[in-house]
Amino acid sequence: MTDNTPNNQSESSALENALKQIQNWFVSGDFEKVKQGCSEVLHIAPNNSIAQDLLKKAEEALVMSTSTATEATPAIPIMPAAAPISEPITTGSELSHQEQITPKSDQLISDQPKQIPTTSYDLGIPPDSVNPISSVAIPMPEAESHHKLHSFLVNLIIIGGIVLVGVGGVFGYQALFGKNTDNITNNQDNTPDQVAQNNQKPTDSSQTQETPAIDKTPNSIDIEATEMETRNNQRLSDLTTIEEALIQYYEKNQSYPSADEASTVMIEEDFLSQMPTPPNDNEVYFYAVYNNEIGDNQIYILSAYFEDENEATEIWSTGGSTNDFTDFTDVSKDNVTIISPNMTEDDYLKSLNPSTDTPTNQPTETGGRVPRS
């Protein structure tokens, strides 16, 4: 018993090595070697389950690969030869024998006449009839004549429509304006003397003609608007002249003139040749002077009443802010005076309503600003 133990161990290790090699073949896809190796192992150990399982899987894989190859590559039909060729069969494998007795597919294809694939036009019809250009071709002279006839008809219709519109316009013009033309012709035949004679009415010397009251016409309104604009332009020019003199006075004296000397000092110091005169009687310009943190008489407000299209007046000013100093036309204040060569403050106050110390037409709110030139 001790003599057989080494032999059994060697056989067992040999089978294990063989099975490992067969498994490697199976993994690499060499199923023919797997089939052959499993057959040899089963010959030695018929009950080896590993060999049986590998053999079964290898056979299935071979069958599957064979069927796939058969479906993928269709068999080339073998044309029968005209006469059998007897050639000696040489020794060799079955595949080489098949190659010897079966002509190659290239040779079979070259022996057969080449078949030209038919196109969609190859339907047993002569080539000329299947030419798409020739089948739809239309004789050119006939198409040109049809086109010319159609164009002629269209042009004829258009010309006829134009003629009808023109004739209708002429008749319409005669119907609408024919009578007016006759009246104009008759009026042209009359001389100016005849027209004057026809329009002249007999007058009664015993009756006197009275001129009715004439309302304002557009021309008179335009004249008044022009005159109003002229007066406003004069007021603007006068305020600009006085303001330029005030600025020159300030540059020299570092302050503006007081209300008491405003009408005289600028003339005495040659800043003004004379004081401007307002355009209307009893009209004045207002001058107000104020103090600030810099000193006395550092702010001035020069103003006047301007007319508008509604025959009303509105105060316009230049210089300081009328929002900060609202009493710039209150002549009763010591810092406010009037500028007018024809009136004094007393005359101006007398011309106003005696019941008030301020002008009746003085607005309750400050007006606009006079634009500086």
Range picked from 34-48, 90-104, 234-248 for highest mean pLDDT = 234-248
By the 10 Å C-beta count (0-12 exposed, 13-18 middle, 19+ buried), 30 is classed as: middle
Q: Tell me: the pLDDT tens digits for 72-94?
A: 555 555 555 554 555 554 444 44
pLDDT higher than threshold 80 for residue 363: no
CA atoms within 13 A on the CB side of 234: 15
Examine the pLDDT at 243 and tell me if it is beyond 50: yes
Contact by Cβ (8 Å): 286, 329: yes
Q: What is the pLDDT of residues 246-276, one digit of tens each?
A: 999 999 999 999 999 988 998 998 999 999 9
Model confidence pLDDT, tens digit, residues 8-23 = 677 788 888 888 888 8
Tokens of 189: 């035949």
The whole-angstrom separation of Cα 159 and Cα 165 is 10
At a CB cut-off of 8 Å and minimum separation 6, what does 296 contact?
Answer: 255
B/e letters for 187-204, b = 16+ CB within 10 Å, e = fewer, are eeeeeeeeeeeeeeeeee
End-to-end CA distance of the chain: 144
Question: What region does 134 belong to: left with phi over 0, alpha with psi -120 to 50, or beta?
Answer: alpha
Arithmetic mean of pLDDT over the chain: 73
**Section 235-242 average pLDDT:** 94
DSSP 257-318: PPTTTHHHHHHHTTS-SS----SSTT--EEEEEE--SS-SS-EEEEEEEEE-TTS-EEEEEE
336: β partners? 288
Q: What is the layout of strands, in order, in the sheet containing 313-319? A: 336-339, 285-290, 299-307, 313-319, 368-369
Confidence of residue 230 (pLDDT cuts 50, 70, 90): very high
State residue 178's pLDDT score.
Answer: 66
pLDDT attached to residue 344: 86
**Alpha carbon distances (Å) from 109 to 78, 119, 197:** 10, 22, 128
Q: Are 22 and 37 within 8 A, CB to CB? A: yes
Query: CA angle at residue 167 from 165 to 170, to 5 degrees?
Result: 110
Residue 128 pLDDT > 80: no
pLDDT tens digits, 298-315: 999 999 999 988 878 899
Strand pairing report for 336-339 and 285-290: antiparallel
- The pTM of the whole model exceeds 0.75: no
Computed from CA positions of residues 76, 77, 83, 84, in that sequence, does the dihedral angle turn out positive or negative? positive
User: What's the pLDDT tens digit per position in 177-209?
Assistant: 765 555 545 555 555 555 445 544 444 444 444
pLDDT tops 50 at residue 212: no
Angle in degrees, 0-180, between the axes of helices 5-28 and 31-44, rounded to the nearest 10: 160
Query: What is the enclosing helix (H) or strand (E) of 160?
Result: helix 140-189
Question: Residue 219 has which token pair?
Answer: 């021309």
Gyration radius of the chain over CA positions: 66
**So what's the pLDDT on residue 76?**
55
In the prediction, which pLDDT does 297 show? Answer: 94
How high is the pLDDT of residue 51? Answer: 85
pLDDT in tens, 316-339: 999 999 999 999 999 989 999 999
What amino acid is encoded at 131 in this protein? Answer: N
pLDDT at 223: 83
* 236 vs 205: CA distance, rounded Å: 55
